[in-house]
Amino acid sequence: MTELLVKNACVIDPLNGILLETMDIPVRDGKIVSSVSSAADVIDARGCLTLPGGIDSHSHVCGTKVNFGRYMSPEDMRAGRTARRGKMHVTSGYYVPTTFGNSYRYSTMGYTTVLEGAMAPLEARHTHEEFTATPHQDMLANTLFDGNWAIMESVRERDFKKTAAIVAWTLAAVKGYSIKLTNPGGTEAWGWGDDLSSIHDPVPNFNVTPAEIIAAMIEANELLGLPHSVHLHCNNLGKPGNYRTTLETFDLVPDKNNARQTLYATHVQFHAYGGTTWRDINSKAEEITRSVNAKPQIVMDMGQIMFGRTMTMTADGPMEFNLYCLHHNKWSNHDVELETGSGIIPVLYSKKSLVNCVMWAIGLELALLTKDPYQCLLATDNPNGAPFVKYPEIIGLLMSRRYRDEEFATLHEGTGQRTAIASIDREMDWNEIAVMTRAGQAKALGMAAQGKGHLGEGAEADIAIYPIRCHAVDPATEYRKVVEGFQKTMFTIKRGRVVARDGEVIVEGANSTFWVNPSVPEDLSVRNDPEFVRKFREYYTVRMDNYPVQDVYLPRGKCIRTEGAL
């Protein structure tokens, strides 16, 4: 038995209604309990800000496309180098670090759980191998279904139970956590030399539209009772005027779940553009947030960009090709058989670029104009908008108008005519930041039931203690203290064990991978569907029996079984 007592903590725990209360947190065997013995180890938080461990609800840190991003950027691998010291492995990379680099940086920032934004089912083994080398964060994997042939055929047939059965078998086979749709139907269309400009355009050879795919997958998700909603990267990412597609997509979404949202829309900054060309691009954040404010069934994350070099990577292959045509930088494209695709290209976001300045403003506008912080979560689509190490700066921008005004003064002079950021007075408080970085993610991902995102009795003892005394710091004027404070915890505690102290990782990690295994009646199982089995045999390069990821790839796997309504 191991015991720990965190004393004199200034706690914010939105899911339990605790706001800046000084209290003790007793921990036994990795769980928060009501009391511990006098023999417990003691950490004195000294009145500093204490939060549940941070949760990143959309990040790209593991898997084949991330690894190929490392291959493509040897110059980045020379950055961010750290030598082996103590328990810390050698690391390298800044915007696409090694797995240990990602893990250590998340730990020193107080983050203990990360959702990988897009895992191709056929390449899941690679993702899980990298999960095991991301030692200090519990991992989850969005699983890509946007161009899945079997899914599109079942959607065309309007057989939602079969759609759900395919999802269930795939998630269980590849040890995935949730449904991810990236530009649904679009990458598949591009593979045939075509493109989709509307969610009502049919996918070549399948006669099914993105709107139909989205609606059917929402239905399948709820039939299976999955903990997370459909996680959607909308069509037409990064195109001027795409806000209309985003609003049209949001209007498709029913309110089907009392416990969580029905749709998680990711990196919405990239989907909130007005105008007709790059010459007249402007912010449509007000229109987007007006829609979200009226639809509790939708949650989004910011997709904030920050200025500097980074790497864009996504299953949206055609978007990356369009980006390549703009930048003429090195570019990679990848097709994943009957499932999905991807593209990768390095980018530089510059304050000299009016387009980039408008993008910067839109992300902040989305957060500041969304009334409920549970509906707009903090993320950069790491590394697409910026590396996650920029989160403290984003927190400072959200909490301080003065900081935003100072940054705004350095931007392209046309930014004010294209955006509303300079007129927004809202400054977020400590509780709202806790929601946007912890409680909101736990609720949106369905992980609060797994003890994530809160500090109530029975929760996992994932705790972040920051060197910030909230009662003595005014974020509106002392924003630099806020930024510095969130960059490095005093203590990051993972399952009751101190893993990082004052910016140094001090122990080896042992993370868990959460995955779902939905229950499906035997007569609906695709393993018993001769047509599914035949097509798998004829079109895939692997046998159906070799497709599933073996348990050995998840040495600390945690299976969540769901009972649906099939």
According to the 3-state scheme, what is the secondary structure of 389-409? HHHHHHHHHHHCHHHHHHHHC
How far lies 84's CA from each of 90, 410, 487, in Å? 5, 39, 21
| Residues listed for the chain | 566
Distance CA 563, CA 223 (A): 9
Count of helix runs (H) and strand runs (E) in the chain = 19, 24
Token look-up 């809202």 returns 426
Q: Are 262 and 366 contained in the same domain?
A: yes
Cβ–Cβ under 8 Å, residues 58 and 228 = no
pLDDT of residue 84: 84
Q: What is the pLDDT along the chain (566 residues), one digit of tens a residue?
A: 899 999 999 999 999 999 999 999 999 999 999 999 999 999 999 999 999 999 999 999 999 999 988 988 888 877 878 888 887 888 889 999 999 999 999 999 999 999 999 999 999 999 999 999 999 999 999 999 999 999 999 999 999 999 999 999 999 999 999 999 999 999 999 988 888 999 999 999 999 999 999 999 999 999 999 999 999 999 999 999 999 999 999 999 999 999 999 999 999 999 999 999 999 999 999 999 999 999 999 999 999 999 999 999 999 888 998 888 888 889 888 889 999 999 999 999 999 999 999 999 999 999 999 999 999 999 999 999 999 999 999 999 999 999 999 999 999 999 999 999 999 999 999 999 999 999 999 999 999 999 999 999 999 999 999 999 999 999 999 999 999 999 999 999 999 999 999 989 999 888 999 999 999 999 999 999 999 999 999 999 999 999 999 999 999 999 999 998 88
| SS3 state at 177 | coil
Verify that 379 and 248 share a domain, yes or no.
yes
Query: 403: closest CA among 371, 436, 360, 434?
Result: 360
| Domain-located, residue 58 | no
If asked whether residues 372 and 395 sit together in one domain, one would say yes
- Domain boundaries, position 461: 3-51+451-505
Please tell me whether the peptide bond between 184 and the residue prior to it is cis, using omega within 30 degrees of 0: no
Question: Do residues 249 and 214 touch, judged by C-beta distance below 8 A?
Answer: yes
Single residue among 416, 449, 482 that ends a domain in this structure: 449
CA 338 to chain centre: 24
The candidate with the shortest Cα–Cα distance to 343, out of 310, 303, 316, 309, is 316
Q: Are residues 283 and 366 in the same domain?
A: yes
Assigned domain for 429 exists: yes
Identify whether the C-beta of residue 293 lies closer than 8 Å to the C-beta of residue 328: no
Residue 386 placed within a domain: yes
Question: Which residues in 233-244 are b (16+ Cβ under 10 Å) and which e?
Answer: bbbbbbbbbbbe
Number of domains the chain is built from: 2
Pair 331, 479 in one domain = no
Residue 347's nearest CA partner among 326, 318, 317 is: 326
150 Ramachandran zone, left/alpha/beta (phi>0; psi -120 to 50): alpha
Q: What is the CATH number of the domain that holds 497?
A: 2.30.40.10
CA–CA distances in Å: residue 427 to residues 10, 409, 477: 21, 18, 11
Is the distance from CB of 323 to CB of 242 less than 8 angstroms?
no
Domain-located, residue 520: no
Which CATH number covers residue 183?
3.20.20
Do residue 378 and residue 464 come from a single domain?
Answer: no
Nearest partner of 240 among 199, 211, 283, 198, judged by Cα: 283
Please indicate, yes or no, whether residues 441 and 462 belong to a single structural domain of this protein.
Answer: no
* 438 and 373 inside one domain: yes
Return d(Cα 225, Cα 464) in angstroms, integer: 31
| Residues 334 and 460 placed together within one structural domain of the fold | no
Q: What is the pLDDT of residue 113?
A: 98
Res 509: pLDDT: 84
The whole-number pLDDT of residue 81 equals: 83
Nearest by Cα to 268 from 431, 58, 119: 58
In a domain, 522, yes or no: no
Predicted local distance difference test score (pLDDT) of residue 77: 79
Question: Each residue of 158-184: b (16+ CB within 10 Å) or e?
Answer: eebbbbbbbbbbbbbbbbbbbbbbbbb
Give the whole-angstrom CA distance, residue 232 versus residue 251.
Answer: 14
Residue with tokens 């009502």: 200
- In 3D space, the residue among 134, 57, 127 whose CA is nearest the CA of residue 89 turns out to be 134
- The token pair at 266 is 């990711």
How far from 152 is each of 157, 210, 343, CA to CA, in Å?
9, 10, 22
Asked whether residue 511 is domain-assigned, the answer is no
Q: Exposed, middle or buried, 322 (CB in 10 Å: 0-12/13-18/19+)?
A: middle
Indicate if 179 and 309 belong to the same structural domain: yes
**What six digits make up the tokens of 116?**
């990988």
Q: What is the pTM of this model?
A: 0.97
Q: Which residues of 110-143 are buried (b: 16+ CB within 10 A; e: fewer)?
A: bbbbbbbbbbbbbbbbbbbebbbebbbbbbbbbb
Identify whether 47 is part of a domain: yes
User: Where is the domain boundary, 449, 483, 517?
Assistant: 449
Q: What pLDDT was estimated at residue 464? A: 98
In a domain, 559, yes or no: no
pLDDT of residue 79: 81
- Residue 219 near residue 160, CB atoms below 8 Å: yes
440/480 same-domain check: no
Q: Which of 379, 414, 449 is the C-terminal boundary of a domain?
A: 449
Say if CB 462 and CB 112 are below 8 A apart. Answer: yes
394 and 472 share a domain? no
**Cβ atoms < 10 Å from Cβ of 193:** 7
Strand partners, 505: 500
Residues 6+ apart with CB under 8 A from 452: 52, 53, 55, 113, 138, 442, 445, 459, 460, 462
